């Protein structure tokens, strides 16, 4: 932020029901404000009691998104990074659990000097301080968008809403804006849109003292003018402050749609933002590239959370970005790894131009992943293994090429004869530059290697060709590591270590000699892929799949 200006806050609440796309709406608005020359950050306030989503089942909560500074966060932060192309940090996601944790710790320390500790003011003060922390320091953005998780009316969300109500009067009208996202259903039988749920939702907001400035209506079809007028009248907002967020096939179209509605312009006017004209060229080009694929490839994602695609959100997006970079459409085939075995792998994966085995935890489905990898290795199908996917690739190679039938990960079998993936007794912490002993498994939260770590990339490898760099930084989220005791033995048989920690102690990327494209990485590259800048490894994986699809086999 320049000229001593203050950060302006935009609060986004949701009404009627969940899953309306507050995260996407916040990200798209943020992206538009960026194109107007403003710096933007986004924060998610989650009302659940978990301190962070790190321990939550992906089946319920979807992917855990990891930031550079090692925070395990809500998947909406992935949208924020992908749309804004600025890195998020632990500051950008807070939960009720984290707030209570801090307040209770302060109470135990005696910080409240004997006061009765209450939701108001102690919890709300802690919420406010976390929101306001975004406006601190030299790098404070012009605009901070705060997305409040859940739906207005939820008991859990009330302290957050109370906090933003207070902030509005404390920071002043010109510095805060309340946007309410609601649903305006279209009743086919009646042939019209219905505004009643929106009215009820705004009434609920008003009852806790929040008057929305802008109503954003999620809808199937554009809502007619008179309907907007009606919503404005019943909800006490300007007539030109009711916008439609119409369903789209492609999430990256939302910024352009919002722009077409004049949404960002209204926000800039209401907040008196020093915004220049929007520059949408990059977003327009992206949509053009999406609409004009020169071919198609099918990629199998072999994992255990396939019923809930949200569990692989960043992965899905990274593959889409890589498709755009290669000018092809990427068809994803989600394959439940529990249903794959060495006998059926070839038929299950027959129509796939590439096989991707993503990250995961626990033994369930692992044998199916190993079978899928065996198929990709022997049939020379491009393969990309991420985190657990890389670990499974090492196990597969050890079992079927190195003749170690008992090879396994310590995670799945503590007494396996050949623990090719194991829990390092000693742990090298790059940040503290200390080797620390880790107490395995005593605490499920906070015992992982998390966040960004450097990796040295060996020249002459697939990884180096993709990155075009000797050093990269990638984000991790795992407990187990490649066991260096097997390094030489596997190398003699064709495994290559194309990425290691800078001191060489940890294997970060493996490849296979004599295979057109076979790469496994211990980190999660999907977290750093962006629509206009596909991640190099995903880009090259899709390029290899395109080569295979067009019948051109490289390698042997």
Provide the annotated active-site residues: 387, 524, 526
The stretch near ligand GLN (CB under 6 A) out of 105-113, 183-191, 353-361, 368-376 is: 353-361
* Residues in 374-393 that interact with ligand GLN by CB under 6 A: 387-388
Supply the minimum distance, in Å, between the C-beta of residue 399 and ligand GLN.
Answer: 18
60 exposure class (CB count in 10 Å sphere: 0-12, 13-18, 19+): exposed
Contact assessment for residue 555 and residue 516, using Cβ atoms and an 8 Å cutoff: yes
Question: Which H or E run contains 546?
Answer: helix 536-549
Class of residue 32 by CB neighbours under 10 A (exposed 0-12, middle 13-18, buried 19+): buried
Kindly list the distances between the CA atom of residue 431 and the CA atoms of 27, 66, 303, 452, 545, in Å, as whole numbers in the listed order: 31, 17, 32, 10, 37
Q: Binding of ligand GLN at residue 361 (CB under 6 A)?
A: yes
For the bound state, the minimum distance from the C-beta of residue 479 to ligand GLN, rounded and expressed in Å, comes to: 4
| Minimum CB distance to ligand GLN smaller for 147 or for 508 | 508
Judged by CB under 6 A, the stretch of 220-228, 317-325, 338-346, 355-363 that binds ligand GLN is 355-363
Which is nearer to ligand GLN, 362 or 504 (by Cβ)? 362
Range in contact with ligand GLN (rule: CB under 6 A) among 4-12, 41-49, 128-136, 359-367:
359-367
Q: Is the Cα torsion angle 375, 379, 381, 386 positive or negative in sign?
A: positive
Q: Which of 432, 468, 466, 470 is nearest to 454 (CA)?
A: 470
Q: How far is the CB of 419 from ligand GLN (least distance, A)?
A: 12
Sheet holding 242-246, edge to edge: 93-95, 40-46, 143-148, 8-14, 176-183, 214-219, 242-246
One symbol per residue from 530 to 549: x for binding ligand GLN (CB under 6 A), - otherwise; what is it? --------------------
* C-alpha span between 410 and 416 (Å, rounded): 7
Beta bridge partners of 476: 451
From 30, 360, 451, 531, residue interacting with ligand GLN (rule: CB under 6 A): 360
The nearer residue to ligand GLN, 387 or 510, going by C-beta atoms, is: 387
- In three-state secondary structure terms, 180 is strand
CA distance 332 to 313: 12
Question: Which member of 411, 474, 508, 526 binds ligand GLN (CB under 6 A)?
Answer: 411
Minimum distance from residue 423 beta carbon to ligand GLN (Å): 8
Contact present, 385 and 512 (Cβ < 8 Å): no
For residue 116, the 8-state DSSP code is P
Q: How far is the CB of 52 from ligand GLN (least distance, A)?
A: 15
Between 147 and 481, name the residue whose CB sits nearer to ligand GLN. 481
When the beta carbons of 263 and 486 are compared against ligand GLN, the nearer one is: 486
Give yes or no for a contact between 252 and 283, defined as CB atoms under 8 angstroms apart: yes
Smallest distance, ligand GLN to C-beta of residue 480, A? 3
Let me know: does 293 contact 42? Beta carbons within 8 Å. no
Rg (the chain; Cα; Å)? 25
Q: What distances in angstroms separate CA 248 from CA 16, 169, 220, 433, one per listed residue?
A: 20, 36, 9, 48
Q: Which residue is nearest to ligand GLN (CB)?
A: 359
Q: Name which of residues 259 to 288 contact ligand GLN (CB under 6 A).
A: none
* Stretch of 79-87, 206-214, 254-262, 475-483 lying at the interface with ligand GLN (CB under 6 A): 475-483
Site for ligand GLN in 480-519 (CB under 6 A): 480
Nearer to ligand GLN, 100 or 361 (CB): 361
Residue choice 8, 36, 477, 515 for contact with ligand GLN (CB under 6 A):
477
Residue with Cβ nearer ligand GLN (116 or 415): 415
Classify 16 as helix, strand or coil: coil
DSSP 224: P
Site size with ligand GLN, rule: CB under 6 A: 10
Q: Which is nearer to ligand GLN, 122 or 479 (CB)?
A: 479
Tokens 């609060």 identify what position? 11
Residues that bind ligand GLN (CB under 6 A): 359-361, 387-388, 411, 477-480
């Amino acid at each position: 932020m320049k000229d001593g200006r203050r950060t302006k806050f935009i609060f986004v609440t949701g009404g009627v029901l969940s899953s309306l796309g507050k995260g996407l709406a916040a990200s798209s608005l943020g992206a538009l404000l960026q194109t107007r020359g403003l710096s933007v950050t986004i924060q998610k306030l989650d009302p659940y009691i978990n301190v962070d989503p790190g321990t939550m089942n992906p089946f319920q909560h979807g992917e855990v998104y990891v930031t550079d500074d090692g925070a395990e966060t809500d998947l909406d932060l992935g949208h924020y990074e992908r749309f804004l192309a600025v890195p998020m940090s632990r500051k950008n996601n807070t939960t009720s659990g984290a707030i209570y944790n801090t307040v209770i710790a302060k109470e135990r320390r005696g910080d409240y000097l004997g006061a009765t500790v209450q939701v108001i003011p102690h919890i709300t003060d802690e919420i406010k301080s976390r929101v306001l922390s975004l406006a601190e320091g030299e790098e404070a953005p012009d605009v901070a968008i705060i997305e409040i998780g859940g739906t207005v009316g939820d008991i859990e969300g009330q302290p957050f809403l109370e906090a933003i109500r207070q902030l509005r009067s404390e920071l002043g009208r010109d510095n805060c804006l309340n946007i309410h996202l609601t649903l305006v259903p279209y009743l086919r039988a009646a042939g019209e849109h219905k505004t009643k749920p929106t009215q009820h939702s705004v009434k609920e907001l008003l009852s806790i003292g929040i008057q929305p400035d802008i109503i954003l209506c999620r809808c199937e079809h554009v809502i007619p003018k008179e309907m907007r007028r009606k919503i404005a009248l019943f909800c006490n907002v300007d007539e030109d402050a009711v916008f439609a967020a119409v369903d789209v096939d492609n999430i990256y179209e939302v910024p352009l749609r919002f722009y077409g509605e004049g949404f960002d312009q209204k926000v800039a006017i209401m907040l008196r933002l020093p915004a220049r004209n929007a520059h949408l060229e990059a977003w327009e080009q992206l949509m053009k590239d999406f609409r004009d694929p020169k071919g198609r490839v099918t990629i199998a994602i072999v994992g255990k959370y396939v019923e809930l695609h949200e569990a692989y959100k960043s992965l899905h997006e990274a593959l889409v970005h890589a498709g755009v970079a290669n000018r092809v459409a990427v068809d994803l085939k989600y394959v439940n790894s529990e249903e794959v075995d060495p006998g059926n792998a070839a038929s299950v994966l027959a129509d796939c131009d590439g096989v991707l085995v993503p990250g995961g935890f626990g033994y369930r489905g692992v044998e199916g992943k190993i079978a899928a990898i065996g198929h990709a290795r022997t049939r020379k199908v491009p393969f990309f293994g991420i985190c657990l996917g890389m670990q499974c690739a090492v196990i597969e190679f050890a079992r079927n090429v190195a003749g170690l039938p008992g090879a396994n990960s310590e995670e799945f079998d503590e007494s396996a004869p050949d623990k090719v993936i194991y829990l390092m007794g000693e742990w090298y912490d790059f940040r503290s530059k200390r080797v620390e002993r880790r107490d395995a498994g005593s605490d499920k939260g906070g015992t992982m290697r998390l966040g960004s770590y450097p990796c040295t990339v060996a020249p002459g490898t697939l990884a180096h060709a993709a990155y075009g760099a000797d050093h990269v930084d990638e984000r991790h989220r795992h407990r187990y590591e490649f066991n260096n005791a097997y390094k030489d033995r596997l190398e003699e048989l064709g495994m290559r270590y194309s990425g290691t920690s800078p001191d060489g102690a940890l294997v970060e990327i493996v490849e296979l000699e004599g295979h057109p494209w076979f790469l496994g990485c211990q980190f999660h590259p999907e977290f750093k892929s962006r629509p206009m800048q596909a991640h190099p490894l995903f880009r090259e994986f899709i390029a290899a799949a395109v080569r295979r699809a067009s019948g051109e086999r490289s390698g042997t």
